[in-house]
């Protein structure tokens, strides 16, 4: 650490603070936005594969970020993302059931 860097805060601490703040403070906003996106007449869904760290195996495995979007013809656009470990039929419909 040099004189310009200030106080050193470990990465794990920053990650924990970010996660705690985002989880508690942003959850109501996320739920409202998810309801807005799901409230349209036509909903589009697609998955994108991502690498997920599997700590027990000490390697990565494939997981998916699912995107749900309102139609481009809706007056107001919106998209919401969800993370799942698979791409089977149960994954894209699970967020639509709650």
Residue 52 belongs to a domain: yes
pTM of this structure: 0.69
Number of domains in the chain: 1
pLDDT in tens, 12-41: 888 888 878 777 778 888 889 999 999 998
> Which residue range(s) make up the domain with 24?
11-97
Angle CA(75)–CA(76)–CA(79) in degrees, nearest 5? 135
Residue 15 belongs to a domain: yes
Band (pLDDT 50/70/90 cuts) for residue 98 is low
Question: What is the average pLDDT across 37-60?
Answer: 89
E strand spans, the chain: 43-54, 59-70, 79-84
């Amino acid at each position: 650490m040099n004189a310009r860097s200030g106080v050193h805060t470990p990465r794990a601490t920053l990650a924990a603070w970010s996660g705690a703040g985002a989880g508690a403070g942003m959850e109501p906003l996320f739920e409202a936005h998810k309801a807005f996106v799901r409230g349209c007449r036509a909903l589009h869904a697609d998955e994108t594969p991502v690498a997920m760290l599997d700590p027990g195996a000490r390697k990565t495995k494939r997981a998916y970020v699912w995107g749900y979007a309102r139609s481009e013809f809706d007056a107001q656009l919106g998209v919401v993302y969800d993370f799942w470990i698979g791409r089977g039929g149960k994954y894209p419909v699970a967020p639509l059931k709650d």
